[in-house]
């Protein structure tokens, strides 16, 4: 399921030598844009919400920066941060799952691949889950599923709209069947949440695939995607291997999904906050 | 008799060949070898018992995909009367990797009230042509959408739903993506979770990832003894995580995908025993066990009010494998 993580890791490895990463912002002062290959001054990129000022390429951003972009300054309160993943299957592949968790914790400061909480979006209170691709490819295991479940339960209790920002390769294989179960779990809690008649907005960012795409992320009342975000069930490499042919240009990108009727709109990063505000104003019945 | 033999089934196959030979001998009237046949059959059963006592996860995975294993239509044939298959998603096509229809569960005695059911299941093919038509049990969005349509019909007519799961996974194709594979799976889960009639799922063979959970969000989930249920296939896991397909056996073990594992982990509600040597050696006994479990589960659920059924199912799934 989460083939992306692998693909991206490989890319990362390769690109480290070239001093420039396609995802996230590297350490140096200058960044090469994967969209247009232009060299961009890192500060400028940050000022521009990590969107290439030359070609509008949307870099993947971490949960912290996403929160800064979406929520009114200082208003976001994290919830359920005490939830820590456990290695329930005692899983070991080329590395122990426990060690992977530890490494990614050290790398990101996060205990798992999503941050949950609530905050103000242009003064409208909303509950939210924000995925972080830097932690095990944003993959969904028990803790991520639990955070989504608890966030919707919190939103039911407090009568809040819910916005989820996904960036995930899919289910976390190291948690085996438990990760698969999160697909039904999250949909179950959303079914319950629907009784509140409050909006659930799903914002798909690059990439959203596998078990995340095939569960809660695809049943938002409103479906938004960032430009050129890769969104699909199977990863492109798996599909290529299956059908033995090259995939068409733009396949599984946000624009392709819009054209095929799978999402409501593509919104640039700089406009997402305002779009959400407008939607919430329209959809919430005071 | 099973025509195809897995590696670990070969000792069984050899004995079976001998038994067959002797039987033809008997028929030809040259000599009476009843005694020998009986001895060999006892020996065969002993050998099967020995082999099946110590199956590892990978062997069980192989059994779950045994080419002679009964498929959804085999079970429908054996356990239902007057089954009528429905077709199509009313939007794009009829996905033949999913079969669905209404029928009565065959009665064990005439005094029993007839029990209506909707059965929806993945369907694999037996011959090459059939396999292609069934897309090896890998569904496109239309398969999940046909299912959703039927789930809603069953709800309208207050008919309990049985899903039979047997898929390597949802089809990873270009058209599938184009037509919303993710949405189709998510919506299938959503529809099952919210339907107001009993839903019983049985994994009869391969419970492959998203394609399986699409039909698996039920009140009661059972697994046949030698079926598997997993987030990824052992091969897929070996190649992605272990970066070595040769480590498939290890991956099968690590994933905890057998019925026993999943009952221990409280993911499923029960295991349906299979006949000696697996369901492919006696599909009628396998079907009888399946039928008994289904009837029992329906009886447990059918007197509940529609809203209660839905609410209890949602509650079960919100709390499945809960961490806190």
Segment A155-176, tens digit of pLDDT? 999 999 999 999 999 999 999 9
Give burial (CB, 10 Å; 0-12/13-18/19+) of A30.
Answer: middle
- Chain B touched by A55 (CB under 8 Å): no
Average of per-residue pLDDT across A80-94: 93
Question: Is residue A194 predicted with pLDDT exceeding 80?
Answer: yes
Q: CA distances (Å), A11 to each of A7, A209, A261, B30, in order? A: 6, 18, 31, 73
Contact residues, chain A, for B178 at CB < 8 Å? 260
Residues 6+ apart with CB under 8 A from B1: B16, B20, B281
The interface residues of chain B toward chain A in range 263-302, judged by CB-CB distance below 8 A, are 265, 267
pLDDT value at residue B323: 61
Nearest to B231 among A171, A218, A252 (CB): A171
To which residue do tokens 């065969």 refer? B44
> Interior CA angle at B186 toward B141 and B313, to 5°?
130
Among residues B301, B307, B308, B314, which one has the least CA distance to residue B162? B301
3-state DSSP helix/strand/coil % of chain A, to nearest 5 = 45, 20, 35
Tokens linked to A137: 């490819």
- Chain A touched by B254 (CB under 8 Å): yes
The full set of domain ranges for chain B reads 7-54, 60-319
Residue B182: phi and psi, rounded to 5, are -60, -50
Contact residues, chain A, for B240 at CB < 8 Å? 3, 6, 173
The interface residues of chain A toward chain B in range 192-211, judged by CB-CB distance below 8 A, are 192, 210-211
Query: Cβ contact (<8 Å) for A219 and B190?
Result: yes
The interface residues of chain A toward chain B in range 74-133, judged by CB-CB distance below 8 A, are 83, 86, 88-89, 91-94
Query: Cβ contact (<8 Å) for B323 and A189?
Result: no
CA atoms within 13 A on the CB side of A117: 20
Tokens linked to B242: 């272990």
**What structural domains and CATH numbers belong to chain A?**
61-283 (3.90.226.10)
Question: Is residue A21 predicted with pLDDT exceeding 50?
Answer: no
Interface test with A, best of B61, B179, B210 (most A CBs within 10 A): B210
% of chain A at pLDDT higher than 90:
84
CA dist B77 and B79 (Å) reads 6
The interface residues of chain B toward chain A in range 185-244, judged by CB-CB distance below 8 A, are 185-187, 189-190, 193-194, 209-210, 212-213, 216-217, 229-232, 237, 240-243
Average of per-residue pLDDT across A106-124: 97
Query: Cβ contact (<8 Å) for A174 and B241?
Result: yes
Residue A242 CA to its chain's centroid (Å): 26
- Chain B touched by A262 (CB under 8 Å): yes
Question: Is residue A7 predicted with pLDDT exceeding 70?
Answer: no
pLDDT tens-digit series, residues B274-324: 999 999 999 999 999 999 999 999 999 999 999 999 999 999 999 997 765
Within 10 angstroms of residue B5's Cβ, the number of other Cβ atoms is: 16
Give helix then strand counts, H and E, for chain A. 10, 10
Q: In whole numbers, what is the pLDDT of chain A averaged over residues?
A: 91
Query: Cβ contact (<8 Å) for A89 and B254?
Result: yes
Among residues B173, B74, B165, B88, which one has the least CA distance to residue B126? B74
The interface residues of chain A toward chain B in range 131-170, judged by CB-CB distance below 8 A, are 142-143, 146, 149
Question: Is residue A18 predicted with pLDDT exceeding 80?
Answer: no
Q: Which fold has domain B60-319?
A: 2-enoyl-CoA Hydratase; Chain A, domain 1 (3.90.226)
Among residues A30, A42, A1, A44, which one has the least CA distance to residue A170? A1
Contact residues, chain A, for B314 at CB < 8 Å? 188, 191-192
Query: Cβ contact (<8 Å) for B240 and A92?
Result: no
- Give the ipTM of the model, two decimals please: 0.95
pLDDT value at residue B324: 54
Three-state secondary-structure class, residue A37: coil
CA dist B104 and B298 (Å) reads 13
| The pairing of beta strand B98-105 with beta strand B80-86 | antiparallel
Question: Is residue A17 predicted with pLDDT exceeding 70?
Answer: no
Tokens linked to A61: 């951003």
Check: CB of residue B218 under 8 Å from CB of residue B270.
Answer: no
Collect the ranges in chain B with pLDDT lower than 70.
Answer: 1-2, 29-30, 323-324
pLDDT value at residue B24: 83
CA dist B215 and B222 (Å) reads 12
């Amino acid at each position: 399921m989460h083939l992306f993580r692998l693909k991206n890791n490989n890319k990362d490895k390769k690109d480290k030598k070239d001093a420039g990463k396609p995802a996230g912002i590297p350490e140096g002062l200058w960044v090469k844009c994967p969209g247009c290959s232009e060299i961009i001054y890192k500060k400028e990129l940050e000022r521009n919400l990590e969107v290439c000022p030359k070609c509008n390429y949307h870099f993947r951003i971490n949960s912290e920066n996403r929160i800064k972009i979406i929520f009114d300054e200082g208003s976001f309160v994290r919830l359920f941060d005490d939830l820590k993943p456990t290695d329930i299957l005692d899983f070991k592949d080329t590395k122990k799952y426990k060690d992977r968790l530890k490494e990614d914790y050290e790398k990101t400061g996060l205990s798992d691949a999503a941050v949950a909480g609530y905050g103000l979006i242009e003064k409208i209170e909303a509950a939210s889950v924000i995925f972080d691709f830097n932690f095990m490819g944003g993959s969904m295991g028990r803790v991520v599923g639990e955070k989504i479940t608890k966030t919707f339960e919190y939103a039911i209790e407090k009568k809040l709209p819910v916005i989820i920002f996904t960036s995930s390769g899919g289910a976390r294989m190291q948690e085996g069947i438990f990760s698969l179960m999160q697909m039904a779990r999250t949909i179950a809690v959303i079914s319950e949440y629907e009784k509140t008649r409050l909006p659930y907005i799903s914002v798909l960012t690059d990439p959203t695939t596998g078990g995340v795409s095939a569960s809660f992320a695809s049943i938002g009342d409103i479906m938004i995607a960032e430009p050129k975000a890769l969104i699909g069930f199977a990863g492109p490499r798996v599909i290529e291997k299956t059908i033995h042919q090259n995939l068409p240009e733009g396949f599984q990108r946000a624009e392709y999904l819009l054209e095929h009727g799978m999402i409501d709109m593509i919104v640039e990063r700089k406009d997402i906050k305002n779009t959400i505000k407008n939607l919430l104003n329209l959809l919430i019945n005071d | 008799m099973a025509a195809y033999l897995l590696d670990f089934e070969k000792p069984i196959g050899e004995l079976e060949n001998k038994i067959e030979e002797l039987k033809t001998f008997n028929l030809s009237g040259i000599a009476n070898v009843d005694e020998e046949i009986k001895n060999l059959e006892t020996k065969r059963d002993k050998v099967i018992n020995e082999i099946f006592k110590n199956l590892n996860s990978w062997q069980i995975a192989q059994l779950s995909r045994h080419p002679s294993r009964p498929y959804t239509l085999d079970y429908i044939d054996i356990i239902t009367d007057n089954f009528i298959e429905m077709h199509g998603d009313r939007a794009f096509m009829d996905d033949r990797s999913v079969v669905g229809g209404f029928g009565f569960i065959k009665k064990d005695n005439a005094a029993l009230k007839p029990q209506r059911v909707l059965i929806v299941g993945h369907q694999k093919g037996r011959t090459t042509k059939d396999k292609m038509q069934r897309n090896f049990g890998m569904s496109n969005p239309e398969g999940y959408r046909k299912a959703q349509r039927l789930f809603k019909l069953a709800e309208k007519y207050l008919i309990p739903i049985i899903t039979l799961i047997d898929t390597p996974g949802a089809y990873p194709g270009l058209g599938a993506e184009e037509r919303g594979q993710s949405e189709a799976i998510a919506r299938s889960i959503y529809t099952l979770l919210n339907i107001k009639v009993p839903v019983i799922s049985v994994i009869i063979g391969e419970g492959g990832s998203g394609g399986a959970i699409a039909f698996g969000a039920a009140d009661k989930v059972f697994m046949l003894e030698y079926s598997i249920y997993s987030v990824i296939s052992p091969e897929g896991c070996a190649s992605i995580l272990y970066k070595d397909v040769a480590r498939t056996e290890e991956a099968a073990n690590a994933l905890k995908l057998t019925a026993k594992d999943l009952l221990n982990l409280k993911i499923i509600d029960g295991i349906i025993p299979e006949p000696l040597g697996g369901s492919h050696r006696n599909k009628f006994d396998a079907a009888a066990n399946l039928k008994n479990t289904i009837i029992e589960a329906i009886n447990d659920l059918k007197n509940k009010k529609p809203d209660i059924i839905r609410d209890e199912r949602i509650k079960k799934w919100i709390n499945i494998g809960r961490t806190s």
